[in-house]
Structure 1
Amino acid sequence: MTRTERSVTTTRWRAGLVALGALALALLGTGPAHAADGTAATPTDLFNGYQHCSTDPTAPTFLWGGNGVFVEGVAQGTPPSNPTGSGSMSMQYRVWPVADPTQTTTVARDFATAGYEAGALLPSEVLADGQTYAWQAQTLSGTSASDWSPACYVTLDDVRPDQPPTVTSPNYPQNVFNQGGEPVQFTFGANGVGDVAGYEYDWQQGLAAVVVPIGDHGIPQPTDPYSDPKHFVHATTLGGSATVGLIPPSGSGPYRLWVRSLDRAGNPSDETDYMFYVKYDGPTATPLVPAVHFDKVTPFRLTPNPDLQAISPVVGYSVETFGANGQQTTQVNAAGDGSAEVNLTLNGAYGDFFYVSSTSANGWISSSYWWTTGPVDTSPTVSSDVYAENASSGGAGVPGTFAFTPKVKGVASYTYSVNWGTPTTVKATAGGSAQISWTPPESGWYDLQVYATTKDGIQLAPYDYYFTAN
């Protein structure tokens, strides 16, 4: 867990520092009275800094302790008959430096619930950077006190790495355009920092803090961040280097990898960035028919970039279309030679385009190839026997016939409105045309807006027919 996360999460609990003498008096009954029928059992599920407790003194948990160390355990036993006030269950924790077990400090959690985590803060005033400490937990319920838990061991590291890591790549050098297709080999170095335990990296700046989720009963669920090879790698030795093979997100162009080193407590160094370039390596898409028609199934052949195919065979394609049904993605498997065929229905009201990228056997994702029909006019043709377009004719109260004819096949209806009024829909004939009769209520300028809808329910581009009634 990083320092930033700890500084937020450790404030969730209230802990009180209790002198050993006062604690002894309380247990002897000279402090607040406790109900006599509670039972206390040894706490379980011990955590420190939201990390697992280590009971091995030779392998302590390394933690940042600048704001103290938050310790917790699940209280066990049964509460006293008076479960409020002085009769509540509680937890206490004691800590001491391994080098001097006589220097014991005890802190208490005043209220606890059996079966739930109840934590307290070991104050920073009694903790020193670089020292190893042992701590234990105990449940109190009424006059009953449990045995102390096994000791947990922590070593404090409050100093973050003072140098950013070094980053090099033998196969994707900086400041030149590289042929893509194989993973980028990176070597991270500790840059002289002796306690670097590993490295964190991402293609985005601002590396995220390690988050520990909290499960049922308040029990932390820490995981080893180094189990995520997309973002973390262990150093080969403490203060050593690490080598990874990474695949950029996709496509050509500039890429920048951000890297920082982490010590054993998870304290991060400043970030180093490594920038490099990848050549365009997209596939091609070719229609297998002489002409592409609106709203008709069109077969396309997808062909891999030959340089990518030579490095690692293309095994599939991702085709992203933007038609009448919105953005859709189709996955297509490739043949042994890396090619594939896909059927696409191109039904964009203003023209069509799609993107296609390939995926190689080693996971490399190519640049996206862009295919387009260019602009397509699907608006209807509008004409009138009385009211000529962009002219003055007819007059107030003089009816006119307006004819609608399609530019594409499959039109089922037309919807029109005058001067942005209430729209009206009329059915089309078998040939896709329609006509209406409309009478201007008064002299003046008019806008007749019309659009067609296909049998597949696709709304086509509108047309604005302007005219003036005398």
Structure 2
Amino acid sequence: MSFGARSRTVLASLGTLGLALAAAASPASAAGGTPTTPTQLFNGYRNCSTDADRPTYLWAGTGLVVEGIPGTTDATDNSPVTVEYQVWPVADPAQTTTVTREHAAPGFESPGTLPADALADGQTYAWRAQTVAGGAASDWSAPCYVTIDNTRPANAPTLSSPNYPPDEWNKGGEPVEFALGAGGVADVTGYEFSWQQDLPVIGTSIGDHGIPQPVDPYADTRYFKRADAPDGSATLRLIPPNGAGPMTLWVRSLDRAYNGSAVTRYTFRVSSTAPTVTPAVPSPEFGRPTTFTLRPNTALQSTSPVVSYSVRTIGGQSDKTVDVAAAADGTAEAKLALDGLYGESLQVTSKSANGWVSDAASWSISYDTTPTVASDVYPENGSGGGAGVPGTFTFTPKVKGVVSYTYSFNGDPEVTVAAGAHHTASIDWTPASDGFYDLTVHATTRSGVQLAPYDYFFTVN
């Protein structure tokens, strides 16, 4: 379950798990062994703190989920037991509140909810648990200490950047430095940030036997930053997700209970740092390997040397992304055979030594891979011949390596003929009747690539 006053996501239903396991046992029976003190104690899906001087800070606006694993000395008896949870203010131990969880499954986390009206905001409480079975009760567990914090930070954080000001186009290439401030809030412990407006949910996964697996959110440096100083301030150095254009970072502060403040955003602009892409010849032939030279953006190279490129092909027979290492001067070469039936494009980004990824440079070419079709008796988009009058149709390629042609008149079954000298082919055809005809033809290359089809329209007199 997520932490914080307004973001609470259930990752696993421990209550359903416990009740299902209890139902599998005989509810009328009592545990055969002596009850044992519950173990694996958690509160709000976070670890129990047994140090009164270092309580766990938790939001409890709708109550506080506490849990532990009950058991008995008879490990083979799965009869349900009862778990009692008792809570009291540290300042007044006589004011106890007890919550009972019946039909709990031995060996599995058995949650109970301490009521919200027994937990005052800003107060520190102790709670403990015991197992009850067959009229007997275990010893109470050692107390866990929590401080209730139902109040999120009152002010949004302050956010600025000394090297990427918001009112101008910045040249890019350097990590963006951000200065984060608590906005005058005293209990800010850190920050959550993202290049997306929807910030991640702080959650806890559930392991075997329903045991929560809490982690320190600040260990995930992709989205969290612990405060660097007691006043809650922090400094971030980030590489933007895109190499150019408007960028926005979204940030909120977190208190000790991980309650989140209102969100602050910082928008700035980055000029293009895209590389240049130059083919060895101005118009590379279809299907023929061509060397492309990749050169870094000059300003980017002077800031942090380019160490590699990512080259993505779009529109070919098999689109792919290849990574190419750069030389010391930041240049690189990529050898590619472009085989898009109607053309192909490249999207190329560079990566610098400091991790900066540029925006993409684009390069593209168009291809006409349809065959040329000609007939002296039945001209294209014209009329000629007649029913029973034979005509010859000649197919000529526009690209190299053609070995055959496949054709069809008015959707009849396709016929394939081999290409002859100069990779051309001719067919003789005699119409059975007059009228409008559509001759569809495509060529196939030596490597098995079926090229774009061509429709040749004509009328038989």
- TM-score, length basis structure 1: 0.89
Q: Is 1:456 the equivalent of 2:447? A: yes
Residue aligned with 1:467, SS: strand
CA distance in 2 between counterparts of 1:34 and 1:144 reads 14
Deviates more, 1:300-309 or 1:177-186: 300-309
Q: Is 1:114 the equivalent of 2:106? A: yes
Residue aligned with 1:275, SS: strand
Give structure 1 stretches of 5+ with no counterpart.
15-31
The alignment-based identity, stated in percent, is 56
In 2 relative to 1, CA 90–414 (structure 1 residues): closer, same or farther, beyond 3 Å?
A: farther
Deviates more, 1:432-441 or 1:384-393: 432-441
1:317-349: CA deviation from partner (whole Å, max 9, x where unpaired):
111111433431110111111111111111111
**Is the contact made by 2:243 and 2:356 (CA closer than 8 Å) also made in structure 1?**
no
Partner of residue 387, structure 1: 378
Q: Is 1:209 the equivalent of 2:201? A: yes
Deviates more, 1:301-310 or 1:69-78: 69-78
In 2 relative to 1, CA 42–431 (structure 1 residues): closer, same or farther, beyond 3 Å?
A: farther
Shift of 1:140: 2.8
Partner of residue 18, structure 1: none
CA distance in 1 between counterparts of 2:409 and 2:36 reads 83
Q: Is 1:54 the equivalent of 2:45? A: no
Deviates more, 1:73-82 or 1:329-338: 73-82
1:87-134: CA deviation from partner (whole Å, max 9, x where unpaired):
522322111111111111111221222222111111112111111111
Partner of residue 38, structure 1: 33
Partner of residue 433, structure 1: 424
Partner of residue 128, structure 1: 120
Superposed, 1:196-275 pairs within 5 Å as 196-275=188-267
Partner of residue 406, structure 2: 415
Partner of residue 362, structure 1: 354
Deviates more, 1:108-117 or 1:174-183: 108-117
Shift of 1:231: 1.2
1:389-446: CA deviation from partner (whole Å, max 9, x where unpaired):
0011223344433222210011233333333455444443364333334443432212
CA distance in 1 between counterparts of 2:283 and 2:336 reads 13
Deviates more, 1:392-401 or 1:98-107: 392-401
Superposed, 1:57-206 pairs within 5 Å as 57-77=52-72, 88-206=80-198
**Is the contact made by 1:38 and 1:81 (CA closer than 8 Å) also made in structure 2?**
no
CA distance in 2 between counterparts of 1:205 and 1:158 reads 24
Partner of residue 2, structure 1: 4
Residue aligned with 2:110, SS: strand
CA distance in 2 between counterparts of 1:107 and 1:45 reads 18
CA distance in 2 between counterparts of 1:49 and 1:318 reads 45
Partner of residue 300, structure 2: 308
Superposed, 1:273-288 pairs within 5 Å as 273-288=265-280
**Is the contact made by 1:7 and 1:67 (CA closer than 8 Å) also made in structure 2?**
no
CA distance in 1 between counterparts of 2:282 and 2:35 reads 84
Shift of 1:48: 1.0
Shift of 1:11: 7.9
CA distance in 1 between counterparts of 2:208 and 2:391 reads 75
Partner of residue 21, structure 2: none
CA distance in 1 between counterparts of 2:182 and 2:410 reads 71
Shift of 1:255: 0.6
1:253-307: CA deviation from partner (whole Å, max 9, x where unpaired):
1111111111111111111111111111111122234652111111122111111
In 2 relative to 1, CA 162–468 (structure 1 residues): closer, same or farther, beyond 3 Å?
A: same
Residue aligned with 1:13, SS: helix
CA distance in 2 between counterparts of 1:392 and 1:10 reads 75
Count how many residue pairs are aligned between Structure 1 and Structure 2.
450
In 2 relative to 1, CA 151–441 (structure 1 residues): closer, same or farther, beyond 3 Å?
A: farther
Q: What letter corresponds to residue 114 of structure 1 in structure 2?
A: P
Partner of residue 22, structure 2: none
Residue aligned with 2:222, SS: coil
**Is the contact made by 1:88 and 1:142 (CA closer than 8 Å) also made in structure 2?**
no
Residue aligned with 1:453, SS: strand
Give structure 2 stretches of 5+ with no counterpart.
17-26
Shift of 1:239: 4.3
Q: What letter corresponds to residue 435 of structure 1 in structure 2?
A: S
Shift of 1:180: 0.5
The alignment yields a C-alpha RMSD, in angstroms, of 2.4
Residue aligned with 2:299, SS: helix
CA distance in 2 between counterparts of 1:141 and 1:425 reads 84
Residue aligned with 1:99, SS: coil
CA distance in 2 between counterparts of 1:289 and 1:213 reads 56
**Is the contact made by 1:38 and 1:143 (CA closer than 8 Å) also made in structure 2?**
no
Partner of residue 13, structure 1: 15
